[in-house]
Amino acid sequence: LNDGSRIPWLGFGTGTALYKQDVSNLVRQAIEAGVSHLDGAQSYQNEDTLGQGIKLSGKPRSELFITTKL
């Protein structure tokens, strides 16, 4: 990135098999396991629970990379 930060090449995705599902606990578990790159999309219809999972993890937003698609 422009500031020298690097996005982890491995991310936890919330699409396909998780379409329209509550991913909050899966996201929390992924973060607790060391994942810091989360990938979602509006079309997956689970971005609200992705956010809940981040909140449940207690990890500061500043330590996470979140990517999405339009």
Is 6 among the domain residues? no
DSSP 2: T
Residue 31 is predicted with a pLDDT of 98
Q: Model confidence at 70, in pLDDT bands (50, 70, 90)?
A: confident
Is 27 among the domain residues? yes
Is 48 among the domain residues? yes
CA distance 46 to 1: 27
Is 41 among the domain residues? yes
Is 45 among the domain residues? yes
| Residues in Cβ contact with 28 at an 8 Å cutoff, skipping those fewer than 6 apart | 53, 54, 56, 57
For residue range 50-60, list pLDDT tens digits in order. 999 999 999 99
pTM to 2 decimal places: 0.89
Domain tally, the chain: 1
What token pair was written down for 23?
């991913």
Is 62 among the domain residues? yes
Across residues 2-11, what is the average pLDDT? 93
Mean pLDDT of the chain: 95
Q: Is 19 a catalytic residue?
A: no
Q: Which residues pair with 39 in a beta bridge?
A: 13, 67
Is 2 among the domain residues? no
Is 3 among the domain residues? no
Residue 38 is predicted with a pLDDT of 98
Catalytic residue among 14, 24, 40, 44: 44
Domain hosting 51: range is 12-67
